[in-house]
Structure 1
Amino acid sequence: MSGSVSRDAEALKSADSSTRRSGGRITFPFMIVTLFGLTLATLGWLQNLIVYLIEEYNMKSIAAAKILNIFSGFTFMFPAIGAIAADSFFGTIPVILVSSFISLVGVVLLALTTLFDSLRPQACETASSLCQAPTNIQLGVLYTAITLGCVGAGGLRFTLATAGANQYEKAKDQGSFFNWFFFTWYLAASISATAIVYAEENISWSFGFGLCVAANLFGLIVFILGKRFYKHDKPLGSPFTSLLRVIFVAIRKRKAVVSTNEKDYHSESKKAPTKSFRVGIGHVFNILSMAVTAIVEAKRLKIVQNGHLLESSSVADMSVLWLFPPLVIVGIGEAFHFPGNVALCYQEFPESMRSTATSITSVLIGICFYTSTALIDLIQRTTAWLPDDINHGRVDNVYWILVIGGVLNFGYFLMGSWFYKYRNLDNADHEQAANVSH
């Protein structure tokens, strides 16, 4: 335990000495523009990957969805490895540089699959259900490109958030940076989901992926240009050494008598931080969005059945604006719980584990991608709700299962929030009071 305290003290001392030389608001435009370019590049190909696999690699829709979930999960799991590397060995700036380059290599290789016909199977013949499957070499090149892109994106996404927040000393400035970080992230995601996806589907895949290459290269160059202004955090060795030491001591003292004195367990404050409240609101919106989506899908199925539109190519006579309410609700929910989770972890973890802290939320999302893949497979094996042609399925029932899971998860969150004792809440309150007095 003493090793962990000394490591945190050393981190604070190192931060104080480096503040005089670098960091601060001058780094903000470099960090934000870098984030914009790299997010635009990654989501530009990732958000339309299912369509690319179906149209260019002749895959079934459910199989393509599973592949997307696997690689998306990997993208969200890998930040933990990048965070540990940044905290323990290299620092955030070198990890971001290497990850950006790996991402660039992956996007370039993916763009090459659009330029050379030998890297893709032949297109399906018109009015034919028989399509040529991709060869092992073609799949190998494709999966290598996607893996490199996911490794690069995963290694820099939350490490960049930590590096940006580390440029500031005050919790208020760090919180402001997180707000701008997620605003920029979602702005880039919106542009990639509209402009770049439009280019891929209406101009050409090579042009759309070429835009992703340009955005990735632009973000990397901007980050390098700002390198001399950054505060370079000093890696302090593996924080998990202290955790293992605590576990070892706990095992040795497992028979020690625990104090029954009530004052030893007294807590000065049970006030929950605003961040946890934001996370709870996000849970409620997530549950509501799944319920609304289930209702919309049930209406679509009713229109299909009443109009006898059961062929796979049939489209329900229903406005796409029906998707607007559930998508808006899920967006509002994510705006509450995603930044709230990241900021809460950044606040509560020790100084020496801040990159690891911001990656925790990403790891949980990655686990959810793999869980969703397993859930889809289980539903396909046990029910007829998810056939290749959803006009013959019951996707609305799948969403109702997600509603039930969301309610259970929200209950678990409330229980955890009630029992959790916040580590840095008093420090944040004191700093806020000092700012008000000044």
Structure 2
Amino acid sequence: MEANGSQQEEPRRLSSGDHESLKDPKKRKGGWITFPFLAVAILCLGLASGGAMSNMVVYLITEYHVPSVDAAQISTIISGSISVAPVAGAIVADAFFGCYPIVAIAMATSVLSLVMFTLTASLPGLRPAACQPGAGPCEQASTGQMAALYAAVFLLCLGAAGARFNQATMGANQFEAAADRDVFFNWYFILLYASSVLGATVIVYVQDTVSWTLGFGISCAASVVGLAALLLGARYYRHPAAQGSPFTGLARVVFAAARKRKVSVVAPGELKFYHGLRREDDDGKNGGDDVLPPSDSFSFLNRAAVITDGDVDGASGSALRPWRVCTVQQVEDFKTVLRILPIWSAAIVLSVAIGVQINFTVLQALVMDRAVGPFTVPAGSMIVGTLISVVIFLGLLDRVLLPLWRRVTGHTPTPLQLVGAGQALTVLSMAASALVERERTATVRAHGQEGDPAWVSPLSAMWLVLPFAVAGAGEALHFPAQVTLYYQEFPPSLKNTATGMMAMIVALGFYLSTALVNIVQRATTWLPDNMNASRLENLYWLLTLLVALNFGYFLTCAKLYRYQNIGK
């Protein structure tokens, strides 16, 4: 999940530029008039995708008769794909087409995806026959039936690829003032969280208590409304031209350094480095930063900026072979990424643990008492505990905890300090999951029900909210703090990669969590298909140990890291 601190702003007044835009229709583009259209599009897309994904584990188990652990694994892989796909979508939008066409195509793809999901739920031929009590093993889904389901999932991933990051960028592009962009980002995250909560509660409840067809149908209708809202606002949007992806510049540094691996950089004073096109006012004697050689760190990359014969046009200073020579600034940008990679890698284990916790909590909830008064809470809605915890803790952090910290210590916590606190809470969250599972299995053994996979423990499933609440508090600390760290430490050309780096962490965590579960299944007997005979507690304790060791690794990385743009 992602979050930003909230900011308050006075009502916006018309400036002279606004009056001019009202006189000239050609200039009447962008601004807050675009917000209602974008807000509906963001909210509806989040509601649609959340309604499709929040209950995926239960859908696979109940309708496709997939074994429970396998269903959790499949759901984890899908979540990882949906997390990493937007990185590719953002690169395509930045480099080639701009945001609006990519977002429009992606939202249309999401509509097709939800149509497919609705068909799988409504047409008997697209899923196996229902299980008959006492009639033997349930019928397994055919290859064609699973192909139809995976086609819907694939389209959902394509929709996320084009829309998730690009909606935020497109919205920010409608504003010139930084304050307006900050307010938009705050609303973007509010809408993102609101749609996630609605998808994981209202739509999941409809799926569990009414019908899967109606639940997916509501998601489909929401995606249609979101696409319509986006298209209705087309006349008001600004469409900045594609500027090219910053990832291309990073790749060029690697290729250029590899091609010039035989060039010696031992004596940089004797080499001529490329600084880009000459400025008209540059007489070569200004002694500014643009004539400084590259830094000494990671010196093997400096050869990418060394000018050799045929690399640069002598008259204009333009690069004749862009994939053989890079500017010094591009080399330094790449070094910035390398310096922060250890900090970035320390978040991957957190994502692995959280990915396992999310999906196995759904399996735990299925065999626990989910009654709250007259209602039965859907197992897929348990993740709402994390979402609500993030929102509440962010509010407390912004209004109470951080001001109190500043009053007591006289300074603001650094991003790395906040990340560390979040990691410590994640350790506690995994331990809390282990303790709750210990109590659940104790009730199973006390009633002698280890052999009955359908037996429901009298222990309330609301105990599962406690680990999620602690995990949410940790996420509220470490997730936005990491985005802040990357955004402030990276050079201007790489500011937009901060969110992309977080998406890669989430995706890698989900993928690696499936690998971890596979290893545990092969090496132990902890995870049979029968949750009442499982030893899931041991897996949670293993995650607690891994997250604790990772916390030590993070502390080492944080101690060695030197801030570039943030005061220590």
Q: Which residue, out of 65, 72, 77, partners 1:58? A: 65
Q: Which residue, out of 19, 28, 47, partners 1:40? A: 47
CA displacement at 1:389 relative to structure 2: 1.1
Q: Which amino acid aligns with 1:364?
A: I
Provide the rounded CA distance (Å) in 1 between the counterparts of 2:143 and 2:430. 38
Q: Which amino acid aligns with 2:105?
A: V
Across the aligned residues of Structure 1 and Structure 2, the Cα RMSD in angstroms comes to: 2.8
Give deviations 1:318-376, integer Å, cap 9, x for gaps: 12221221121122222333333345444444555555442221122111111011111
Change in 2 beyond 3 A, CA 1:109/1:187: same
Give deviations 1:45-83, integer Å, cap 9, x for gaps: 111111111111111111111111111111111111101
Provide the rounded CA distance (Å) in 1 between the counterparts of 2:418 and 2:227. 33
Change in 2 beyond 3 A, CA 1:91/1:274: farther
Q: Does 1:84 align with 2:91?
A: yes
Q: Which residue, out of 342, 358, 371, partners 2:499? A: 358
CA displacement at 1:300 relative to structure 2: 1.2
Q: Does 1:394 align with 2:543?
A: no
Change in 2 beyond 3 A, CA 1:54/1:164: same
Q: Does 1:304 align with 2:444?
A: yes
Give deviations 1:391-438, integer Å, cap 9, x for gaps: 212111111121222223333334444444556659xxxxxxxxxxxx
Provide the rounded CA distance (Å) in 2 between the counterparts of 1:300 and 1:30. 47
Query: Partner of 1:150 in structure 2?
Result: 157
Q: Does 1:281 align with 2:288?
A: no
Change in 2 beyond 3 A, CA 1:330/1:219: same
Unaligned runs of 5+ in 2: 1-20, 22-26, 270-294, 298-410
> SS state of the match for residue 118, structure 2?
helix
Query: Partner of 2:554 in structure 1?
Result: 413
Q: Which residue, out of 453, 462, 468, partners 1:321? A: 462
Change in 2 beyond 3 A, CA 1:422/1:128: farther
Provide the rounded CA distance (Å) in 1 between the counterparts of 2:483 and 2:84. 15
Query: Partner of 1:107 in structure 2?
Result: 114
Unaligned runs of 5+ in 1: 1-17, 427-438
Segment drifting more, 343-352 vs 206-215: 343-352
| Structure of greater Rg | 2
Q: Which amino acid aligns with 2:423?
A: H
Change in 2 beyond 3 A, CA 1:257/1:408: farther
Provide the rounded CA distance (Å) in 2 between the counterparts of 1:317 and 1:408. 35
Provide the rounded CA distance (Å) in 2 between the counterparts of 1:192 and 1:66. 21
Q: Which amino acid aligns with 2:457?
A: A
Q: Which has the higher helix share?
A: 1
> SS state of the match for residue 370, structure 1?
helix
Count of aligned pairs between the two proteins: 401
Query: Partner of 1:3 in structure 2?
Result: none
Superposed, 1:231-380 pairs within 5 Å as 231-248=238-255, 250=257, 252=260, 253-257=263-267, 274-310=414-450, 311-349=452-490, 353=494, 355-380=496-521
The structure whose RCO (Cα within 8 Å, separation 6+) is larger is: 1
Q: Which amino acid aligns with 1:283?
A: Q
Q: Which amino acid aligns with 1:403?
A: T
Superposed, 1:19-34 pairs within 5 Å as 22-34=29-41
Segment drifting more, 197-206 vs 332-341: 332-341
Is the contact made by 1:87 and 1:355 (CA closer than 8 Å) also made in structure 2?
no
Q: Which residue, out of 140, 143, 154, partners 1:136? A: 143
Segment drifting more, 174-183 vs 291-300: 174-183
Q: Which amino acid aligns with 1:180?
A: W
> SS state of the match for residue 318, structure 1?
strand
Is the contact made by 1:44 and 1:196 (CA closer than 8 Å) also made in structure 2?
yes
Provide the rounded CA distance (Å) in 1 between the counterparts of 2:542 and 2:91. 35
Is the contact made by 1:272 and 1:422 (CA closer than 8 Å) also made in structure 2?
no
Provide the rounded CA distance (Å) in 2 between the counterparts of 1:345 and 1:227. 32
Q: Which amino acid aligns with 1:29?
A: P
Query: Partner of 1:216 in structure 2?
Result: 223
Query: Partner of 1:190 in structure 2?
Result: 197
Change in 2 beyond 3 A, CA 1:36/1:335: farther
Give deviations 1:101-134, integer Å, cap 9, x for gaps: 1111111111111121111111111133411111
